[in-house]
Every structure is written in C-alpha cells, then in structure tokens.
Chain A
Amino acid sequence: MNGPGKMALYVALVIAAFLIPLVPVLQPYLIQFAFLWVMILFAMTWDVLGGQMGYNSFGNIVFFGVGMYATAVVQRDLYFTVEEYANVAGGDQAVLTPVEYLTGLGLGMGSGALLAVVIAAVLGSGILGLRGHYFAICTLGLGIAAGELASGWDYIGAGSGLVTPLLPDALGERGPFFYYLFLVLAVIAFAVLKRLYAGQFGLAINAIRDDEDKADALGLHATRYKTVAWCVSGFFLALTGGAFGNLVIFIDPTDVAFAGPTFGVWMVLMAILGGKGTLWGPVIGATVFHITQEIFWTYLFGWQRVALGLMIVVVVVFFPLGIVGWLRERWPQRFGEVVDEGARRVQVSLDGER
C-alpha cells in the first residue's frame, strides 16, 4: 500500500475507534475495550525492547506499577493527609470535584511517567549492560523484588493495597471516560513508536538486536540507545499504569501493580503472538490474545490460567514468528521488501540443510 492510502487507513481506524462508544450495542462492553487498549499498550511497549532491540525483558511491569503507585499517591496527597484518606477509604471512597480529580490524575500520571523514566535511566545504565539471558532473568527478579518491596512499604499501603479516588459523577460513566483515556494513550504511543522506528533510532536499536558487538564496533553508543529505548517503554507503561489504577480503583501490590505472573507474562506473549519486532504485530497479538483470554475465561472457568500456560508453550515453540512475522515471511513483497528469488532459493536450501 502506498503513502496516502496507508494514511487514510490509519485515520479511518482511529475514527472508527473513537466512534465505538456511540454504538448502543457496544456500550456495555466499553470497559472491555478499555482493557483491550491497555493490552495493546502492554504489547507495544514491551516490543520496543523485546522485539525491536532483542532485549527480552520480563520486568517491564515495574514501570507499570511505579506509574500506578505514583499516580495514586499524588492523587491522595494532593488533597488529603494520609490519616484522612485512610479513614475515608475505610468506609467509602474519597469524593473529589471533577477539576480536583482531573488535576490529580494528570499530575499523578505525569509524575509517574517522569519517575519511571528516571528509574529506567538509572537501572538501565547498569542492567542493560547485561547480555541476553542474564538480562532476561535479572529483569524477572527485578519485577518480583519490586512487588515484594511494595507489599512491605507502609506509606503506599503495604500488602493491604491502596484505593484510588472515585471518578466524579460529573465526568460521566467509568466506561466512556477510561475508554477514551486509554484510546488516546494507545494512539499516541503507536504514533510515537512508529515515528521512532522509522528514523535513526529504529535503525540503531535494530542494529543492536542483530549484532550488538558489531554495532558497538561501528561506533554506535549502544548503551545510550538501549537506555533511551527503555525510558520510552517505561514512560508509556507508567502512563498506562497510572490510568489503570484509577480504572480498577483498588491497587494490590502483587496482583495489580507488579503483576508479573499475569500482565508481565501477557505482554511478552502478546508481542510474540502478534509478531515481535513488527509495528502492527503487538497490536494484532494483543487483540487476538484479549479475545482468546475472554473465551478461556468464559468456557474454561477455573482452568483458564492452565490454558494460558499451555498457550505460551505452544506459541513460543510452534509459532515464534507470530502472526505478522508469518505473513511477512509468506508475502515479503507486501511488506515492502524486495525479494531476490535466486538468493531466496539458496537461502531456503541452506535453511533446509541446517
């Protein structure tokens, strides 16, 4: 597809997404759709490192949790003292005016995102020096350590969690509000990542994925690029986390904020399912995964998590290319790649020999 046609498609998709809440049949499912945007954000932000840069992180959930807690803490401390809030939260939730609520949410998400970027930069300078599997397992430890730390820290509610303020009635229903919030976040994240991948930055992180030592030798400041990539990923994840805390209202340290075994795993699975290292892969993967998960949840009640574990094994072992990756291998021309048939035949026969 050529430039203008592609642009028209993007615009049409975004407009369609913005119109969904106006369709009466779909209105009861708006929260579901909001979750879908969250899933897409998960997969896209994971793919920055995991797909495009070849650094498979199990610990990106840290930024999600940091953003969530930072937002909730800002919302709490802006208008209440901790004691007041604890009393209010004990009975019913804190009630705010729309302006107060939006200010708190905006400031909270902003500071959460900043904090996440700082953390990514500080941790990244050390952890991103690790290669391959050491990085993967180190980040796995990081995610769980963060959850354990949050469970023990009284200021943020420790193990009993934190309650976020309720959405004021004047701002309408929860459904449309969070639907649009996450939709806007997802669209911005997609646009930013598309722009980044198209430029020098994208080439640099792809070079790191393909051969980091060679990239280093060619004078690429690999650690710098890696850290920036992690900051970008952390920035959007923290924004997502901040809004997500307000969507689910109750923040549990290990089941919601630093939910490694669920969200942390899902983001990897979704990106791989859709095709890691591609622009649309994470989006498609997240959509397919979200639908599959709902089906599992409905028909396999009690066994849905077992089925998810099985799904990870099957996808990783039998379908590591992912949906978009597979399409790309099947019809390379459609993806703007020039195919030299002769060289391809040689390559295929070489692959067969291996």
Chain B
Amino acid sequence: MGNLEILLQAPIFSVQLLIDGLLVGSIFALAAYGMALLWGVMNIINISQGDYVILGGYVTLTLYNAGIHPLFGVPVAALVLFIVGWAIYRAVIFRVVDRDLFISILATFGISILLQQLMDQIFGADIQSAESGLGQIFLFDSQVTVSQIKLVAFAVVVVVGVALVLFFKKSRMGQAIRATAQNARAARLMGINTDRVYAMTFALNAALCGAAGALVVMTWVIQPFIGLAYTIRSFMIVVVAGLGNIAAVVAAALGLGAAEQFAAFLLGAEFQIGFVFGLLVVILLVRNMFLKRQRQVLK
C-alpha cells in the first residue's frame, strides 16, 4: 500500500493510470461483447473465450515474425479465428447448444484446455509480444505518456464496435441473429436456419476475440496460459453490463480496465490476476445479495 502515498502526492499519476486503464479496457470490451453475444443468442457461457484472444495474439505474432507489421494482424487474426470458430462450432458446439448449461460450460472448458496446450506445444510457454514501432505521446509536461499503439488499438475497437452495430441493424444475417436471440423457435418457424445463425454467431465471436488478441499482443504480452483471465474479465463485464447492450458493455469494460490498473499499481503487479479473480467473486456475491432481497425463501 506504500504506493498510495505516491498517488496522493502526485495526482498526475492517477491520470496516467486512468488513461492506460481506459485504453486497455477498450480491448476487453471486444471479447466481452462477443461473450454477451454468445450468451444471449445461444445461451452458452464460453470458457474458451480468452483462449481465442490469445490465439489471435499468436496469429499476429506469427505475421510479425515473418516481417509483416502487426497492425495487419488485426484483420488476419479475425479471419483466421472466424474459421477456427466455425470449425469448433461444427465439431463440438452444435452438439451442446440445446443442452444443459453446465455441459456447454464443461465442453468449452475442455476446448480451452485443448487450445492452451496446443499453443504451448506450438509457440512455447514464453511471454511474447509484437513491437508496433509506434512512439509515445507526452502530455502534461511529459508527466503522462501514452503509447500511440494503445490509441490505435482504441480506434480499432471503436471502428469494430460501430461496424458491429451496423451489422446487427442493417444486414440480413444480423437481423437473423437478433431474431434467434429473441426466440429461436419462432425464428425457425419464420424460415431462419438457426443452425447457420449459431455457427455464424460463434464464428463472429471468435473473430472478435481474434481481433482483440491482435491488439493485446501489440499493447501488452501474451502467454499460452493467461487466456482464462480474459474469459473471467469478459464474464464479469457481461454480468455487470447485462446482455445485449453494447454501450453498457463498453462502459463496464473501461471501468474494469481502469480498476485493474489502479489495483496493479497499489497492490503490486503480481497481484493483478489475483485481483481480477477476487473481484469476480465479490461481484457475484454482491449481485446475489441484491437478488436475494427480491427472493422470498427460507434462510
């Protein structure tokens, strides 16, 4: 807690933390929106969410190692993950869509372990990142530095977000996805091929995660086994924001990003992951306390 004094004496540090946190949080928003999409449309909580993020990061890293600028990794990772997502849906997920929620949780948990171990075998367990080659921006007499790549990442998230909103409003597939989310049976009766909608939703979610992963590898680091943290972050954001409200998801994601930066600074960076998981437990308990007030059962 010694760092608290630093914050109090030099408030400008909190501006630094806040900006970093908001920019990082915007990346969380992508994966979280994907999770809300899956949850809302298919009623699946995807534990392998974070591993698609990390996989997207490795796709970008592979490009980077081949001498291509990592920013091109964003569309490429999205495309590759779209195909991976489609394949995973066709192999496993379509079998668990209509079944008990816990079966899908466990099945995606298995996929998560499978992907982690595959990435460990193929890319190695080291912490890696891709250098974007962009510089820093200095604000407030150089007291606050913002790396340009984080700003670029933020811009990418905004563009993807707008594209998503348009996709769901305007396109036939977007409308079909929304219809299926409202009532799958009715959608089927109206001639919507819900199986195709589900496949599309799952692939779209994976693509969103892939794009997020490409941004993560440029702004931060990746490692085969940290995917679960992104799953938990997404889950938390969705629990706080609710399903199907993109503005709330973005707000919650930005808040989480900022909270994490402050926690990492105050508690020490080694407790950041612990903070994320601890926060999850707290959020669920608090949520349950509020729900309990409305529930009339034996104590």
Residues of B close to A132: CB separation below 8 A: 101-102
Residues of A close to B192: CB separation below 8 A: none
Q: Which secondary structure dominates chain A's binding surface? A: helix
Q: Is the CB of B277 within 8 A of A144?
A: yes
Interface size bracket, A side: 35 or more
A187 CA / B282 CA spacing, docked (Å): 37
**Contact among A137, A221, A309 with B114 in the assembled complex (CB-CB below 8 Å):** A309
A259 CA / B96 CA spacing, docked (Å): 27
Whether, in the assembled complex, A210 has its beta carbon less than 8 Å from a beta carbon of chain B, the answer is: no
Q: Is the CB of B103 within 8 A of A151?
A: no
Whether, in the assembled complex, B113 has its beta carbon less than 8 Å from a beta carbon of chain A, the answer is: yes
A220 CA / B299 CA spacing, docked (Å): 10
**Contact among B112, B116, B118, B271 with A152 in the assembled complex (CB-CB below 8 Å):** B271
Contact string against A for B residues 255-299, beta-carbon threshold 8 Å, 1 for contact and 0 otherwise = 000000000000010110110011011001101100010000111
A175 CA / B235 CA spacing, docked (Å): 44
Give residues 156-199 of B contacting A (CB, 8 Å). none
Q: Is the CB of B277 within 8 A of A148?
A: yes
Whether, in the assembled complex, B79 has its beta carbon less than 8 Å from a beta carbon of chain A, the answer is: no
Whether, in the assembled complex, A89 has its beta carbon less than 8 Å from a beta carbon of chain B, the answer is: no
A318 CA / B270 CA spacing, docked (Å): 40
**Contact among B95, B113, B268, B285 with A309 in the assembled complex (CB-CB below 8 Å):** B113
Residues of B close to A142: CB separation below 8 A: 277, 281
Give residues 122-139 of A contacting B (CB, 8 Å). 126-127, 129-130, 132-134, 136-138
Which residue of chain B has its CB nearest to the CB of A143?
B277
Q: Is the CB of B273 within 8 A of A133?
A: no
A134 CA / B102 CA spacing, docked (Å): 10
Q: Which residues of A contact B (CB under 8 A)?
A: 56, 58, 126-127, 129-130, 132-134, 136-138, 140-142, 144-145, 148-149, 151-152, 216, 219-223, 261, 265, 268, 272, 302-303, 305-306, 308-313, 316-318, 320
A and B contact pairs by CB, cutoff 8 A, 13 listed:
A126-B288, A127-B284, A134-B287, A137-B232, A138-B280, A138-B284, A140-B232, A141-B280, A144-B277, A145-B274, A219-B298, A313-B111, A320-B103
Given contacts A142-B277, A313-B114, 11 further A-B contacts (CB under 8 A): A127-B281, A129-B292, A130-B284, A130-B285, A132-B102, A134-B239, A134-B288, A144-B232, A149-B278, A303-B121, A312-B110
Q: Which residues of B contact A (CB under 8 A)?
A: 45, 47, 92, 95-96, 101-103, 105-107, 109-118, 120-121, 225, 228, 232, 235, 239, 268, 270-271, 273-274, 277-278, 280-281, 284-285, 287-288, 292, 297-299
